[in-house]
Structure 1
Amino acid sequence: MNLPYRPMALILVAVSFFAIVLGRAQAGGGHFYTPVADAVVKEECASCHLAFSPAMLPASSWKRMMGDLQNHFGEDTSVDAATAAAITAYLTANAADTGGRNFSSKLLRGVSFASAPQRITELPKWVDEHGKVPAWEWKHKDVRSKSNCLACHRDAERGYYDE
C-alpha cells in the first residue's frame, strides 16, 4: 500500500538534503573559500593562526610571503627548503588566480594580482566589509587581531566566513 508513496518520500528527502547542502554552501553569499586540505600546510601554518584558504590571495602574494619567512609579519617562521617548497606549491596551485577561484573574484575585485597585498586584511573588500567593526572590538581579549577570523566566524576553518 505504501509503495506509491515511497518514491515521493525519497524524492522529498533528496530535495531536502540538497537544499540544506546548497544553502550551506551559499551561506554568507560570497563568503566561502575552500579550506586548506594539505596536511603540511595545516601543520605549519595553523600552528600559529588559522590556515587561510589559498583562494584568498593571488599566487604572487603567496610567493612573496613564502619568500620571506624570516620576517613573516614580524615573526621568524622559517622552515626547511623542502617544506617551504611544498607549502609554496600548494598555496600557488590553489591561489585566487589559479586553482582556488570559488568566490575569490569578489574578494579580490579591483586588486592587481601583481601588486596584491600579502595581508588579507588589507584587501579593499575585506576593509569594506569589516570597516563597521569598532576599533575597540579588535582589541577585545577574544579577538586581539584582525587576522583572528575564528573570533567572529566560527566556521572559518571549514571555509565559511558568514557571521
Structure 2
Amino acid sequence: MTKIVNLSIAALLLAGGVYLYADDDEHEEHEHKRSAVAKPMTPQEKSTAALYTKECGACHFAYQPEFLPKSSWDKTMKTLDSHFGTDATLDPQDHKTIQNYLASHASRYDRMTGMGGAIAIRISETPNFKHEHREIPKKMVTQADVKSFANCAACHTKAASGSYREREVRIPNYGSWE
C-alpha cells in the first residue's frame, strides 16, 4: 500500500513539474518552432511561404499555420468569399498552393488547439490561446493601438518570426508584460 501511495505522489509531482516546465517562459514554450532541428527551406517552400504572407498578410497578420489544425485551415480556405466580412477570394492556383501550405504546416497536436473535434477558425477561440491570454485586461486589448487579439504583432514584438516569448511582449501604452 505504501509503495502505491509513494508512486502516486511521485506521479503527481512529475505531472506538476511537467506543467510548470510547459508554462515556464525560460524553457521557451511560447516560441513557435517548426521543428527541433530546422531544415533549410527549398526555393519552392520559400516561394510558397512568401505567397501566403503576401496574400494573407495584405489584410491581417499572416498567422503561423501551426496555430490551427488542418480542419480549421480547410474551413477557412473554403469560406474565403466571406472571410470575416470580406471577400478574400484567391486565384485558383494561389488558393491551392496556400491551402496545401497551411495543411502541411498545420498543428497536429490537441494541446495547441484543444477543441476536442470542434473546428475553430479564430486562433483566439482555442483553449491554448485563451489560457495564455487569460490575465490580460480587456482595456489593454481594445485600445486603439491593439484593437483586438487578432493583432498579434501589436504586442508580440517578434511574432512575424514565430517567437511569442513573454519577455518579448510589449503592450502599447503599458510596456512589458511581466
TM-score w.r.t. the length of structure 1 is 0.72
Higher relative contact order (CA 8 A, sep 6+): 1
- Residue 62 of structure 1 pairs with residue 61 of structure 2: no
Shift of 1:91: 0.3
Shift of 1:137: 1.4
The equivalent residue for 1:48 is 59
| Gap regions ≥5 residues in structure 1 | 1-25, 98-103
Of 121, 126, 130, 1:127 maps to 130
| Gap regions ≥5 residues in structure 2 | 1-24, 35-44, 170-178
Q: Distance in 2 between matches of 1:30 and 1:105?
A: 15
Shift of 1:62: 0.3
Q: How many residues align?
A: 130
Shift of 1:34: 4.2
Higher share in helix: 2
The equivalent residue for 1:107 is 112
Shift of 1:78: 0.9
Q: Distance in 2 between matches of 1:45 and 1:147?
A: 13
Shift of 1:58: 0.5
Q: Distance in 2 between matches of 1:131 and 1:70?
A: 32
Q: Distance in 2 between matches of 1:27 and 1:68?
A: 39
Q: Percent identity?
A: 33
Please list every run of at least 4 consecutive aligned residues from structure 1 whose deviation after the TM superposition is greater than 6 angstroms.
Answer: none
Shift of 1:33: 2.1
Shift of 1:116: 2.9
Q: 1:135 to 1:48 in 2, by over 3 A?
A: same
Residue-by-residue CA offset, 1:47-88 (whole Å, 9 max, x unaligned): 111111111110010000000001111211111111111100
The equivalent residue for 1:30 is 29
Q: Which amino acid aligns with 2:82?
A: N
Q: 1:157 to 1:85 in 2, by over 3 A?
A: same
